[in-house]
Amino acid sequence: MISFSQVTKRYAGGLEALRGITLTIENGEMVFITGHSGAGKSTLLKIAAAIERPSSGSVIVNGQNIAALRPRAVPFLRRKFGLVFQDQKLLFDRTAFDNVMLPLAITGFERREAARRVRAALDKVGLLAKEQSFPVTLSGGEQQRLAIARAIVHRPAILVADEPTGNLDTAHALELGELFRSFNQVGVTVIIATHDEAFAARLKPRLVLLREGKLAA
Amino acid sequence: MRAWLWHHLDALRMTAARFARTPVATLLNVGVIGIALALPTGLYVALVNLQGFAHSLVSDPQLSVFLALDASRAEAGRIGARLRQHPGVREARYVPRDQALKELKASTGLADVVESLPQNPLPDAFVVLPRDAQPQALEALRDEVSRWPKVTHVQLDAAWARRLEAGLRLARLAAGLLATLFAFALVAVTFNTIRLQILTRREEIEVSKLIGATDPFIRRPFLYYGALQGLAGGVAAWAIVWAGVKLLNGALSELTQLYATRIELQHLGPEDSLSLLAFSAGLGWFGSWLSVSQHLARIELGRELPNPLI
């Protein structure tokens, strides 16, 4: 369970990205955060995943208050999340296989078991045939699916995606939506920030609308 | 425990792979470190050899007491008796001038020159072994004996060895200074190599941090890289010095054969070799640790800036 209470985020320079957000996301829920760009969607996700700290208010993830977390404990909290970044952040100097291997290398998985899991994740997103390809040789949709494979390979309880359909056509966006739904169906909490309303409407998730840093609905 | 071991093995494997990926840069770095370390190491080896050589030459310090040319047998006998009664003298051996001339003829191959001399230019002499080998006692004895009548000159035969010893001390200090300077250079070279690596792998570091890598995990491959590079530099330095000693020994054996003696330079002993390798690996580790601490902190700061990407 993730619960925000009176969360405000102020950046240096006075920009207030979030203002008094109170929001609870239950385990196993699928939530879409929508709103115009600049409404604070990304900031909300970053605070949930302990990438940024709130200026005030508290964020509790599975009983841990993120704002009060010691810096040494932050990496271990982040491992509970699967993150799909807006710009994917794939590593272009290594193969698809090695990209997906990264989270398992970080947690120190035994090699054979890790390789099995990497292949399972690649299979899940339909890229098993391309495990030895470098990201540059993949299409935009394939790169996005590779980023998703990396986000789910360590079987996180919470999957967070920022604008996953950013530059995909509708058909690919729908495919991706189905993929997220399938994770949610096996119990993963899925939180997606998007401004793509068609994509959001189709999956019929819980919708959270942000407007200028405040909850609108 | 297994995960921990696996982490380390993996970091080591990745480091080796990184070495292999940039062979030229790696070779150049290792070469620079090797040469930098070979200079003080070579000086050290030279010192150790000189010291061994000096020790083999100087057994016991002794004094040579030369009498005046006009000293008679009787006077020589009196001086001998006086020497033997002196509390600071353990033994005094009389070397008559005729015997000294004979020895000179026999030992130096100057027979012809000696033969052609109209008269014996050598004085009677005593070789004195002192009871106390301390430099102050030796000098006091020398000063005292040289004031005796009919004694023209007293030579402290160990004096040159002490001068050599002092010279060696100076050279050891120079080697120490050189080693310090080059140790600094090694740290600087490693610091820079690691800085460049961090810059080129910035994305990977950022992503790793974002998905839950701990700082030690991120630091580890860089530390391994620094230590391995230092170690390889140490091996290179060892090889350079080894080759130098080998070459010099070849030339030396020719030279010393002409003088009918045999001098062979010794290479670094196993203990010194291990110290060299441990020292270079440690410095490499230290250099990369400095670099990583500096630059990772900066990447951490970057996270706090407003950043449109998640």
For B197-217, b/e burial (b = at least 16 CB within 10 A) is bbeebeebbbbbbbbbbbbeb
Give the pLDDT means over successive 10-residue stretches in chain B (310 positions): 73 80 87 91 88 68 82 83 85 83 72 76 84 77 84 77 79 90 91 89 87 88 92 94 90 76 78 93 94 80 41
Q: Do B210 and A109 touch (CB under 8 A)?
A: no
- What's residue A134's pLDDT? 95
Could you give the 3-state DSSP secondary structure of residue B113?
Answer: helix
Q: Do A108 and B207 touch (CB under 8 A)?
A: no
Q: Nearest chain B Cα to A76, which residue? A: B212
Burial of A207 from C-beta contacts in 10 A (0-12 / 13-18 / 19+): middle
Nearest to B128 by CA among B140, B142, B115, B118: B142
Residue-range domains of chain B with CATH: 2-57+162-302 (no CATH), 63-157 (3.30.70.3040)
* Angle, CA of B229, B171 and B51, to the nearest 5°: 100
- What's residue B304's pLDDT? 43
Window from A17-26, A98-107, A197-206 with minimum mean pLDDT: A197-206
Tally of CA atoms within 13 A in the half-sphere of A103 that contains its CB: 28
Question: Could you read off the pLDDT of A30-45 as tens digits, one per residue?
Answer: 999 998 888 889 999 9
Question: Which among A11, A83, A86 has the least Cβ separation from residue B211?
Answer: A83
- What's residue A33's pLDDT? 92
Question: Which among B10, B215, B310 has the least Cβ separation from residue A51?
Answer: B310
Q: Nearest chain B Cα to A16, which residue? A: B306
pTM greater than the 0.95 cutoff: no
CA of B14 to nearest chain A CA: how many angstroms apart? 11
Contact A9, A18 (CB under 8 A): yes
Q: Do B306 and A42 touch (CB under 8 A)?
A: no
Question: Could you read off the pLDDT of A97-130 as tens digits, one per residue?
Answer: 999 999 998 888 888 899 999 999 999 999 999 9
Question: Could you read off the pLDDT of A126-156 as tens digits, one per residue?
Answer: 999 999 999 999 998 899 999 999 999 999 9
- What's residue A24's pLDDT? 93
Query: From the candidates B211, B215, B307, which should be mutated to test the interface with A, based on the most A CB atoms within 10 A?
Result: B211
Q: Do A42 and B308 touch (CB under 8 A)?
A: yes
CA dist B223 and B205 (Å) reads 14
A91 Cβ under 8 Å from any chain B Cβ:
yes
Bridge partners (DSSP) of residue A30 are A190
A42 Cβ under 8 Å from any chain B Cβ:
yes
Relative to beta strand A81-84, strand A64-65 is unpaired
Q: Which residues of B touch A78 (CB under 8 A)?
A: 210-212
Largest interatomic CA distance in chain A: 50
Q: Which residue has the higher pLDDT, B56 or A180?
A: A180
Question: Which among A86, A106, A110 has the least Cβ separation from residue B217?
Answer: A106
Q: Nearest chain B Cα to A103, which residue? A: B211
Nearest to A196 by CA among A83, A39, A45, A33: A33
Q: Which residues of A touch B303 (CB under 8 A)?
A: 51-52
In the stretch 128-167 of chain A, residues with CB closer than 8 A to chain B read 150, 162
Nearest to B236 by CA among B280, B269, B268: B280
* Angle, CA of A155, A156 and A159, to the nearest 5°: 120
Question: Which among A87, A102, A111 has the least Cβ separation from residue B208?
Answer: A102
Is residue A6's pLDDT more than 50?
Answer: yes
Query: From the candidates A9, A66, A101, A107, which should be mutated to test the interface with B, based on the most B CB atoms within 10 A?
Result: A107
Nearest to A199 by CA among A173, A161, A167: A173
| Residue written as token pair 């490499």 | B284
